[in-house]
Amino acid sequence: MTDTRQSIYRDVAQYYAEKLQAHGETPQGVDWNGVEGQTVRFAQLAQVITAPAYTINDIGCGYGAMYEFLAPNPALQQYIGIDIAAEMIEAGQRRYANNAQLTFVHGSTPLTPATYSVASGIFNVRLGRNDAEWWEYMTGVLDVMHQYSTHGFSFNCLTSYSDAEKMRDYLYYTDPCRLFDYCKRHYSRNVALLHDYGLYEFTMIVRK
């Protein structure tokens, strides 16, 4: 792993560990404004799912909130939550201690491929990294999602079409058209860009 990547993981993990400590297992504890936005994001990401039975790697799972969104549908076989913040993984393990449908992994890479991989909110907080560093980092993580998904993956990013007065330096705003092109060229012919759900972000769906 490169030094840049390692230092990103360290800084980002610390950022989110502090959020969890301040707000507990709540949307604010993973730096969202509230449960409504968190759930809207899950609904977008879940559009990648079409298989009648599936397993899922949730990269940047936080305390595992997406499991609760997916669990009512019996198609879900196994949920694997992966997070670079040890505190998030411990929270998830405690929260679902007696539920064999979930596994939590501390780190950035799944242990095995799943039917799908999803990532909600992992490309937003860049702290001090410049545009070129963050793009390289982000596409490196997407390569991992591609590698560890047999049927497809989905993720969200803050959009470069956000209102200028609301934008913050420590956040990264992705050009959705550039990323759409990147996903088409590198991962699959079947890519959907969802940019119509009322948040300052978009979701990319990559079907294999």
Ligand X SMILES: C[S@@+](CC[C@H](N)C(=O)[O-])C[C@H]1O[C@@H](n2cnc3c(N)ncnc32)[C@H](O)[C@@H]1O
Residues found near ligand X in the complex (CB under 6 A): 12-13, 16, 30-31, 38, 59-62, 65, 82-85, 88, 108, 120-122, 141
The nearest distance, CB 204 to ligand X, in angstroms, is 15
φ, ψ of residue 117 in degrees (nearest 5): -125, 145
Q: Name the minimum Å distance from CB 189 to ligand X.
A: 26
User: Which C-beta is closer to ligand X: that of 120 or that of 149?
Assistant: 120
Which of 52/72 has CB closer to ligand X? 72
Query: d(Cα 75, Cα 132) in Å, to the nearest integer?
Result: 39
Closest by CA position to 51, among listed 144, 149, 192, 147:
149
Q: How far is the CB of 10 from ligand X (least distance, A)?
A: 11
Nearer to ligand X, 125 or 191 (CB): 125
- For the beta carbon of residue 99, count every other beta carbon within 10 angstroms: 12
Q: Which residue's CB is nearer to ligand X, number 186 or number 190?
A: 186
Residue 1 CB, nearest distance to ligand X (Å)?
A: 11
What are the start-end ranges of the H helices in the chain? 3-23, 35-45, 65-70, 86-95, 131-147, 176-186
Residue 206: CB atoms within 10 A of its CB come to 25
